[in-house]
Amino acid sequence: MKTRAAVATAKDTPFEVREVDLDSIRPDEVRVKLTASGICHTDAIVRDQWYPMALPAILGHEGAGIIEEVGAEVVDLTVGDKVVLGPAFCGECKQCLSGHPMYCENFFARNIGGCRPDGSKSFSDSNGEISSNFFGQSSFAEYTNVISTGVIKVDDDAPLELLGPLGCGIMTGSGAVLNVLRPKAGSSIAIFGTGAVGLAGMLAARAAGATTIIMVDVVESRLAFAEELGATHVVNSGKTDPVAAIQEITGGGAEFALDTTGVPAVFTQMTDCLGILGHGVLVGAAKLGDGATIDIGTRLTSGISISLVCEGDSVPKEFIPRLISLYEDGRFPFDKLTKTYALDDINTAFADSADGSTLKPIIVY
């Protein structure tokens, strides 16, 4: 079938919105008419070839929509279901079977390989095949074919125009806190980065009962917004040493910390701000080959734990409904992070995301 999509054609080049061909669904897939798709930093860095996915490509991996067709092997979804789309995973490897599908042994191939496991691609045009099946979905298109294991059914009255980002960015920040750090009520946490992922982590920390929530960034307006959303302290790391500030606020170091930036120097600050037996998590993506330093001589006796976390170590079919329930209860107002754009304005949305004027852009079809 014919559909419109935003195509990434070359490194550091704007998307082209044009008509493409979508192939037939496979037995384990569903066809989804997209209502909306969030824009994530990962879309930008794959477009710009931080990770080697062949271009041209149809990206997008925070989709939400309505199922229009169901493959012969799919038994838990039906035409008309409202769904949120999550990452792809094989469901058969040791990590998938042990309840950690976001660490699927085939994660890169399934999500950034640019094709289905059999090598086929969902999209093409007059110039040939287009890399697709990005995170199992390629949601920068009005219609797409999606591997059913990554599809999460939601209630009929669910606000689909809002929920797509739960499939990656919002899930990453909140999952890192709720699934991995698991702060106790009354605990302290320092979060580096006040983008959508960092603020999702902050909202999750509030929902978990953390009472000292320190947000670190260099943009005053975003720090002020973090305070409006519930941060108890903010630190401008462009003006103040964040490690010293966090140690002073917490009386020796944070119990928990989250780095959403992927900047090596910030990762070092995150590890240094932890108190004895503290636990820090990195979720920010960096270029392949980037490294960071930890003063292992000084930190050896601190007993700190550092985790590198993908997609919040979530089981999306279990975790996304939890986030929706928290949102409906008024305890996870992630909608305050979003702004909507039309598909034809996708390059404006990416620019606004890059300069920080929009925290979480959502393309609404």
User: In the chain, what are the domain boundaries?
Assistant: 2-167+333-364, 172-311
Q: Please, what is the average pLDDT of the chain?
A: 96
Distances in Å between the Cα of 350 and the Cα atoms of 47, 123, 180, 255, 361 are: 11, 22, 30, 35, 8
Fold of the CATH domain 172-311: Rossmann fold (3.40.50)
In this predicted structure, the answer to whether residue 206 has a pLDDT above a threshold of 90 is yes
| 51 confidence band (pLDDT: 50, 70, 90) | confident
pLDDT, position 95: 97
What is the per-residue pLDDT across 104-135, written as a single tens digit (0 to 9) for each?
999 999 999 999 999 999 999 999 999 999 99
pLDDT, position 81: 98
Q: Give CA–CA dist 130/115, Å, rounded.
A: 9
pLDDT, position 290: 87
pLDDT, position 360: 97
Torsion of CA 61, 66, 98, 328, to 10 degrees: 90
Fold of the CATH domain 2-167+333-364: Quinone Oxidoreductase; Chain A, domain 1 (3.90.180)
| 82 confidence band (pLDDT: 50, 70, 90) | very high
What is the per-residue pLDDT across 6-31, written as a single tens digit (0 to 9) for each?
999 999 999 999 999 999 999 999 99
pLDDT, position 311: 96
In this predicted structure, the answer to whether residue 285 has a pLDDT above a threshold of 90 is no
Contact 144, 22 (CB under 8 A): yes
What is the per-residue pLDDT across 120-179, written as a single tens digit (0 to 9) for each?
999 999 999 999 999 999 999 999 999 999 999 999 999 999 999 999 999 999 999 999
What is the per-residue pLDDT across 180-196, written as a single tens digit (0 to 9) for each?
999 999 999 999 999 99
Distances in Å between the Cα of 306 and the Cα atoms of 122, 180, 256 are: 38, 11, 10
In this predicted structure, the answer to whether residue 277 has a pLDDT above a threshold of 90 is yes
| 254 confidence band (pLDDT: 50, 70, 90) | very high
| 244 confidence band (pLDDT: 50, 70, 90) | very high
pLDDT, position 165: 97
Contact 229, 333 (CB under 8 A): yes
Give the strand pairing for 123-125 and 16-22.
antiparallel
Q: Give CA–CA dist 171/166, Å, rounded.
A: 5
Radius of gyration of the chain (CA): 20
| 288 confidence band (pLDDT: 50, 70, 90) | confident
Angle subtended by helix axes 220-229 and 196-208, to nearest 10? 30
Angle subtended by helix axes 242-250 and 264-272, to nearest 10? 20
pLDDT, position 128: 95
Mean pLDDT of 276-288: 92
The alpha-helical segments, DSSP class H, found in the chain are 41-47, 94-97, 107-112, 160-163, 169-175, 196-208, 220-229, 242-250, 264-272, 296-299, 316-328, 346-354
Instruction: Count CB atoms within 10 A of the CB of residue 97.
Output: 11
